[in-house]
Structure 1
Amino acid sequence: TVVELLNKVDIFKCDKSKCGFLEGKEIEHFYKILTHREEIEVIYGEYAKTDGLMSATDLLNFLLNEQREDASQNDALQLIEKYELDENAKAKQQMTKDGFLMYLQQPEGLIFNPAHKSVYQDMNQPLNHYFISSSHNTYLLEDQLKGPSSTEAYKKALLKGCRCVELDCWDGSDGEPVIYHGYTLTSKILFKDVIKAIKEYAFKTTEYPVILSLENHCSVEQQKIMAQHLISILDSALVTKPLRDQMPTCLPSPEELKGRFIVKGKRLDKLEEMFSEESKTAEEDSVTEEEDDEGDEEDQEKKSSKTKSLKLAKELSDIVIYCKSVHFRGFEDSRDKQSFYEMASFKEGEAVKLAEESANDYIHHNTDKLSRIYPAGLRTDSSNYNPVPLWNAGCQIVALNFQTPCLEMDLNQGLFLQNGQSGYNLKPSFLRDQDTNYNATCVICALKSSIVDPIVKVQIYGVPADTTVVETQYIENNGFNPMWNENFQFNVRVPDLALVRFLIEDYDSSSNNEFIGQYTLPFNSLRNGYHHVPLLTKKGDLLSSAGLFVHIMVVDAE
């Protein structure tokens, strides 16, 4: 409790009568101790120039000079009306220190730009122009060897704004396809139950489209069942044909696809054949197709070294419209042969190598085609790779294990915190323009209710030239109201790709520091001035009654 915490830090001395409870002036004294913020007093004192209080003009000066907001006298008056608790001060259009503290602890005082909490980006560009929040092995709750599979994992990912979920599909008993991690002891769930769960939770957080990434290992018979379930359960929300009556020349936009589901998988023919007068209906229900190589490494060892083939049911093939899976055979081959609706998947090692050694080619590839990245199969513990270098190369579907709390998921959550948590972030213009002259190679060459020793690390993630970390000194035995009063300066060269992470740890000189909380947000969503930084747990939940108070100043380089 609060009382227990204050006793621990030798602050709770309000019970002057020694009766075991507080009354009258003791309560007032207790409140003053509880809300005492030396740094707030200093800031308030600098601007409270009207009989020791902040007038609307004083508050406006603070908003303009410190917060660098485009504010007016009326904005200041509205803040006083909204947050001032003292009716006498409010009547005089003044703000007390308590009202000022109340304002700084509300959304208006948080570090994240409130304008970015809603959808503010252009959502009418082709899908390949966006970073898309994406998960890998979405069905798993734990590890990839014997952990449980569950529809709950899909619900959790979708509620976090994930827009691309993976379904590993295998033949099940009683003719019903199942989802699980092949060749392992992970539990199995029915394909139809997963589709029902996805339909129910897909658009609770955001209305923008969901991509169903199929890793298909089923027989033709059960592929037909898969297609039946997709069509019957998702109904008109499933995209089963191009949005218009003529052959498209680019992918549709997130806005056009609101409330819709897109299937990513193999297709027997080119999309163009749907509009060809000479196209013929296939006489066979299935055609031999080269098998996808997206299986994990342990799966690959169980397969013959010879080229395998996959029988593909026409019913399932026909509902693959905008995300046809193809193999990547080099950038030249992709330029010459790969259509805009065809997309390749890359294992993390291959993708990182391309981003490092062929960055410009990779960036140009991703200006008009979708790329999906997935973790290596050896990550049996469901750990994650660093997604930042792949975002830097313009890769859109950078799939992570959402079930694993880690730095990489912090970065993913931070990137997609903006734009209304829609799961779609518009890529910077230099990663969208096919004629881009962006030279990748030149860039790529508080807190806790116990006694802790808190230390703050400020981390920048982005292009290698921007990636850095600084840390404060630790404050010994004070997790209640530590003050660092330290200044750091960063030179950020590519702000459009930069993420800022505030990490708080309990310092330990003899072992690894203990995680306390973190908060990650896009650099471009930072607000100038004095702001509170909320803190999240490892699982991404809000750490109540905890936060950092920081001063931010972003200025253009001279």
Structure 2
Amino acid sequence: MSFQVHHDMTAPLSHYFIYTGHNSYLTGNQLSSDCSEVPIVKALQRGVRVIELDLWPGSSKDEILVLHGRTLTTPVPLIKCLKSIRDYAFSSSPYPVIITLEDHLRPDLQSKVAEMVTQTFGGMLYYPESDSLVQFPSPESLKHRIIISTKPPKEYLESNGIKQKGALSPGGRNSSEEDEEASGIPDHTAELEADDRSNSDQDDADLTDCDNKSGQLGAPAYKRLITIHAGKPKGQLKDALKVAVDKVRRLSLSEQELEKAATTNGTDVVRFTQNNILRIYPKGTRITSSNYKPLVGWMHGAQMIAFNMQGYGKSLWLMHGMFRANGGCGYLKKPDFLMEKGPNNEVFDPKIKLAVTKTLKVKVYLGDGWRLDFSHTHFDSYSPPDFYTKVYIVGAPADAAKKKTKIIEDNWSPAWNQEFTFPLTVPELALLRIEVREYDMSEKDDFGGQTCLPVSDLRPGIRSVPLHDKKGEKLKNVRLLVGFQFV
């Protein structure tokens, strides 16, 4: 694989898949884990470029906290998160960091956020001259810059009813994306932008003249800092995906909404994502911080597939693998077919059956290093391990495949020497997932390491491939010798 940035980085942001975190401040599950700046730092060090913060008012007058509302998660001060982003934003990549805010604040506290953001980031902060952008800037032009994405305050006030008296405390009721996540109740397609939904209590319905004035003062400074406006779609899915001629925006859909959109309005989603940004987030029932299959979003051009980076599992391995491409910089240029338009303005249809354009041959030669990274009784108490390797292609549905080597018994350094062939219709989005297991006759086979590699960045030849543990951390010594060939 190439460890250099080699994609064209001068196109608008909407032309890229962007490494995106969800509830980036959580250390564990969605209901009761601590909120902290530590997972934010870890994500940035891994190359994640989109950090999500949920903002709530604290108990004292000017206090602003980051937490997962209406749950038992313990809060962390916003200023702590902002300083961590400032200090670690470009520790692994020079390309822009986008902070998506889910905002539950009164206008005077929004003004306070504007002040904190401006003072903390200084010259690192980018915001546009005009009120709304006709086209997003490029990653290249935004190197070492931090940008904000949220709803403009005016839309926030309108969506909450003009007479709302500020926002509610975490124990109150102010429906949002967090409502779904905390309750696990599926969302409704008619109300697509979860960030924009509201169901405020009657008790909060009297906005005084004084509050109005503070809103007038607070809103402009906050609004001015927003580069990527979160949209406010109303009505049906098709209407939400309409492309405006004079401005670009961001839309958020849950994983279930995306699946529905892919079934009924696939080409509308592709068309929308050519100029606008689509963010997908996990459904509310994923309280253990698990993740979903990212390929549906990528096949439809969705730039921000928001993942629980503190989570676990095979979906997260795929995310890690995808963003190893392009030097691990966190931005991947979307394949041309997702950006092209035909003579009659037609766009790529993810449902059509495509021809094979490339064939990948993978030869698994041998493996070594387990003896150094695992205790001698880790796999078997009385004999050396019995390793085998599973090789998968994950990508377009037509490309999905699974192969397996033979089991080599009683050997710490197994040699398989087996070759597998994978015909590919969409090699640009194909991921090669490799997992080593140790055969166990009486129990579940033991895990011996895994990796996931973007097929687009594979270099032909025989390569030493390091394996990772279940959390995605690289094992010190375990490696496979693998041959790659394109025909």
Give the TM-score normalised by structure 2.
0.81
Alignment CA distance shift 1:428-1:298 (3 Å): closer
State the Cα distance separating 1:142 from its structure 2 match.
Answer: 0.7
Return the offset for 1:439: 3.0
Pair 1:266 & 2:151 matched: yes
1:221-260 equivalent positions in 2, closer than 5 A: 221-242=108-129, 248-260=133-145
User: What does residue 222 of structure 2 align with?
Assistant: 316
Q: In structure 1, what is the equivalent of residue 269 of structure 2?
A: 362
* Equivalent runs, 1:61-460 vs 2, <5 Å: 112=1, 116-174=2-60, 175-242=62-129, 248-268=133-153, 287-290=157-160, 293-297=176-180, 299=182, 307-308=198-199, 313-314=218-219, 315-327=221-233, 329-335=236-242, 337=244, 340-435=247-342, 437-443=347-353, 446-447=367-368, 448-449=370-371, 450=376, 451-460=384-393
Q: 1:269 and 1:431, CA in 2 relative to 1: closer, same or farther beyond 3 A?
A: farther
Report how far residue 316 of structure 1 moved: 2.0
SS of the residue corresponding to residue 362 of structure 1 reads helix
Tell me if 1:472 matches 2:378: no
Number of residues paired by the alignment? 422
Structure 1 residues 299 and 318 mapped into 2: Cα distance closer, same or farther (>3 Å)?
A: farther
Residue 412 (structure 1) shift: 1.1
User: Cα offset for 1:553?
Assistant: 1.7
Once the two structures are TM-superposed, the CA of residue 319 in structure 1 deviates from its matched residue by 1.4
What is the one-letter code of the residue matched to 1:481?
S
CA 1:510–1:352: 2 relative to 1, 3 Å: farther
Higher normalized strand content (fraction of residues): 2
Question: What secondary structure is seen at the aligned counterpart in 1 of 2:416?
Answer: coil
Aligned to 2:208: none
Give the counterpart letter for 1:254 in structure 2.
P
> Is 2:461 aligned against 1:529?
yes
Using a 3 Å threshold, how does the CA distance of structure 1 residues 415 and 211 change in structure 2: closer, same or farther? same
Q: Distance in 2 between matches of 1:252 and 1:381?
A: 36
Bigger proportion of residues as helix: 1
Deviations 1:46-71 (A, max 9, x none): xxxxxxxxxxxxxxxxxxxxxxxxxx
Matched residues in 2 for 1:296 and 1:512: separation?
38
Distance 2:157 2:253 in 1: 25
- Structure 1 distance, partners of 2:331, 2:250, is 18
- The alignment yields a C-alpha RMSD, in angstroms, of 2.6
Q: Per the alignment, in what secondary structure is the counterpart of residue 319 of structure 2?
A: helix
Q: Give, in angstroms, the shift of residue 425 of structure 1.
A: 0.2
SS at 2:296 equivalent = helix
Inter-partner Cα distance in structure 1 for 2:101 and 2:53: 5
Partner SS, residue 340 of structure 2: coil
Task: Flag the 1:392–1:292 CA change in 2: closer, same or farther, 3 A.
Answer: farther
Aligned partners of 1:321 and 1:341 also within 8 Å = no
Q: Judge conservation of contact 1:456–1:472 (CA < 8 Å) in 2.
A: yes
Structure 1 residues 487 and 127, CA gap change in structure 2 (3 angstroms): same
C-alpha distance after superposition, 1:162-198 (max 9, x if no partner): 1101001111132211011111111110001100000
Percent identity (aligned): 33
Q: Cα deviation per residue 1:399-451 (whole Å; 9 max; x = unaligned)?
A: 0000113211211111111212110000000112244653311249x241243
TM-score normalised by length of structure 1: 0.71
Contact 2:113/2:222 (<8 A) preserved = yes
Q: For residues 269 and 398 of structure 1, do their structure 2 counterparts lie closer, same or farther at Cα, with a shift above 3 Å needed? A: same
3-state secondary structure, aligned to 1:158: helix
Paired residue secondary structure (1:288): helix
Structure 1 unaligned segments of length 5 or more: list them: 1-111, 271-285
CA contact (8 A) 1:405 1:539 kept: yes
What 5-or-longer segments of structure 2 have no aligned partner? 161-173, 192-196, 205-211, 355-366, 377-383
Structure 2 distance, partners of 1:535, 1:498, is: 19
Q: CA deviation at 1:543?
A: 1.3
Compared with structure 1, are the counterparts of its residues 186 and 333 closer, same or farther at alpha carbon in structure 2 (3 Å cutoff)?
Answer: closer
Say if 1:443 and 1:262 are closer, same or farther in 2 by CA, change over 3 A. farther
Q: Cα distance, 1:476 vs. partner?
A: 1.7
Q: Aligned letter for 1:197? A: S
Residues 233 and 239 in structure 2, CA contact (< 8 A), matched pair in contact too: no
Q: Which has the larger radius of gyration?
A: 1
Q: What secondary structure does 2:477 align onto?
A: strand
From the superposition, tell whether residues 521 and 269 of structure 1 become closer, same or farther in structure 2 (CA, over 3 Å): same
Distance 1:357-1:459 versus aligned 2 partners, 3 A rule: farther
Give secondary structure in 2 for the equivalent of 1:335: coil
Aligned to 1:488: 420
